[in-house]
Structure 1
């Protein structure tokens, strides 16, 4: 027996699909297969203590370091609790933290700070409309943090990035079951209407919290997308591996170019009390590289031949 949820989902999917087709998809005859990606492995090399002392002998002989106990600055791991560990036998760097950045020597104490700094430094401003200089369509990242660093989509979690003049970018991650992704056009559900505070029995969960109220175009994220539907400003789109779509990357996150928000409306969402949600229809701007397609039915990426849609040809 088909549940009411599945009936409503099928109805919404059908309506959304027909709406997207009415926009014209402008699909190319051939779409390339997705190429496998390799995660970048960063190997950090530490300079030997002897090299450090040779480069800065005066630093190694400061009275402060000589008067300090040999094991005073050793960080003890909780995993070694109760064990007899000879920390004094460990080799330690003689370069103070204040000089670590200038001398090019990375110590255990400042590695975390350097990594945090690397994640937040951007060459370009993500709060801008259109393409980011130097980032080609099809660019891929292993994490949302890396995508944020390149200014394509700034938030690490939120799906919408925008301001008073419209949305700068959106991320597709498959958060709503009735959204439809046809590659060159897709529907997108807005933000809000979920209880993010949580309770003792049901802790805070940004992705799976049930709908508990209507969404609204007064929500700043939803308002930004609605504004984009009025201005026609381009919106950067990234697709994530969690998205259930043949156009989603098999892993990581991929920049799929610029889209426009063609329509904004409200409809009943897939929830028990039929709370309203904000919906948007996106269409890809023509003239960009074709989107890669994956075929999960065979467990590997293959080339698919896509015929032009009748609506696009008319």
Structure 2
């Protein structure tokens, strides 16, 4: 027997799919699929020098020169002998940016993300993330192992929050998990707003506010929801990243991927999927045309649109 919750969820999904299709998806006829990234093989190790050469070339019983007391007392910072006489700034920030994490570059780990890998450190941002539109140097399809990397490259600043915005509108949103009746068709998706959850959390997860039950209506007065509603009025583009936890054929198989610019086409309120029927803020996003096609997961089904198992059993929408 299908529960009332599942019936309502099926109705909401059906309505959301119809709404998104009415916007026009502008999707390509053939959608590319993720392909495993080819990692470069490790370089051949240098042949070990023969024992004869080692014995012949290596000096015997040679001690390292002892530093004079004048050098040792010249600074309060301890230095190695190779830095003797050199002026070294130990207080300056040293940054290192590898093209790939060690696990990938060594061939131990592979990924199906075919786009370039973004920053993974906590370095200083080059550009302000509180900017509408593209971030210079970060192309569509760039991916990161963590949300910290997205923040470092100014694509989506918050490490946890799904919405980043200000008084002028939303700068970016992250799709990762979401509500049960949200629909992601890649080139358009529905998004449920923020707020309305019990700040005390749940009995099993008292500090996990993301899974806390909804205890009040959401509102467009919430700063995050207000930013998205403002975007629906201005038409300013919003950067979108998708995470591996998202239940969608367009979600990356791992990490977080920048999928380009979208516009908030509609903002409204409706009854949410909760026992007491608290209201939620809903938003419909549509991808701006002319961007690279979105890859679909290699294990995704070939169905054109997602189908809900309970849809056929659900009551017709009104």
Normalised by the size of structure 2, how large is the TM-score? 0.71
How far did 1:62 drift? 3.6
Note closer, same or farther for the CA distance 1:3–1:134 as it changes in structure 2 (3 Å cut). Answer: same
Question: Alignment partner for residue 141 of structure 2, among 138, 141, 165?
Answer: 138
Give the direction of change, closer, same or farther, for the CA distance of 1:120–1:163 in structure 2 (3 Å limit).
farther
State which of 185, 188, 191 in structure 1 corresponds to 2:191. 188
**1:46 counterpart residue number:** none
Match of 1:231 in 2: 234
Distance 2:204 2:132 in 1: 42
Separation (CA, whole Å) in 2 of partners of 1:296 and 1:133: 32
SS at match of 1:31: coil
Q: Equivalences for 1:85-234 in 2 at 5 Å?
A: 100-101=90-91, 118-119=121-122, 121-198=124-201, 202-234=205-237
Indicate the residue corresponding to 1:61 in structure 2.
Answer: 72
1:296–1:62 distance in 2 versus 1, CA, 3 Å: same
How far residue 121 of structure 1 moved from its aligned partner, in angstroms, is: 1.3
Task: Tell me the CA shift for residue 250 of structure 1.
Answer: 0.3
Aligned length: 252
Instruction: Give CA deviations for 1:139-196 in whole Å, capped at 9, x if unaligned.
Output: 0100000010000000000000000010000000122010000000000000001123
Q: CA deviation at 1:281?
A: 0.2
Partner-residue secondary structure (3-state), 1:207: helix
Question: 1:285 aligned to 2:288?
Answer: yes
What is residue 252 of structure 2 aligned with on the other side?
249
Q: How has the CA–CA distance of structure 1 residues 103 and 9 changed in structure 2, closer, same or farther, with 3 Å as cutoff?
A: closer
Query: Structure 1 regions of 5+ residues with no counterpart?
Result: 40-52, 69-91, 107-117, 299-303, 308-314
Compared CA separation, residues 183 and 202, structure 1 to 2 (3 A): closer
Contact 1:29–1:305 (Cα < 8 Å) also in 2: no
CA contact (8 A) 1:28 1:306 kept: no
CA contact (8 A) 1:31 1:306 kept: no
2:194 and 2:188 map into 1 onto residues whose CA distance is 20
Q: Deviations over 1:198-245 (max 9, x none)?
A: 477651213211111110000000000000000000000000000000
Kindly provide the CA deviation profile for residues 105-139 of structure 1, in whole angstroms up to 9, marking residues without a partner as x.
Answer: 99xxxxxxxxxxx5151000000000000000000
One of 258, 264, 272 as aligned partner of 1:269: 272
Q: 2 CA distance for matches of 1:3 and 1:252?
A: 34
Shift of 1:100: 2.9
| 2:273 counterpart SS class | coil
2:12 is matched with 12
Q: Highest relative contact order (Cα 8 Å, sep 6+), 1 or 2? A: 1
Runs of 5+ consecutive residues of structure 2 not aligned to the other structure:
40-63, 97-120, 306-318
Contact 2:200 2:209 in 1 (8 A): no
| Contact 1:30 1:305 survives alignment (8 Å) | no
- 2:173 is paired with a residue of what secondary structure? strand
CA distance in 2, matches of 1:209, 1:248: 24
- The residue aligned with 2:25 is 25
The 1-side partners of 2:212 and 2:303 are apart by: 39
Greater mean alpha carbon deviation, residues 27-36 or residues 123-132: 27-36
How far 1:296 moved relative to its partner?
A: 2.5
- DSSP 3-state at the match of 1:236: strand
Distance 2:225 2:93 in 1: 48
Distance in 2 of aligned mates of 1:182 and 1:234: 18
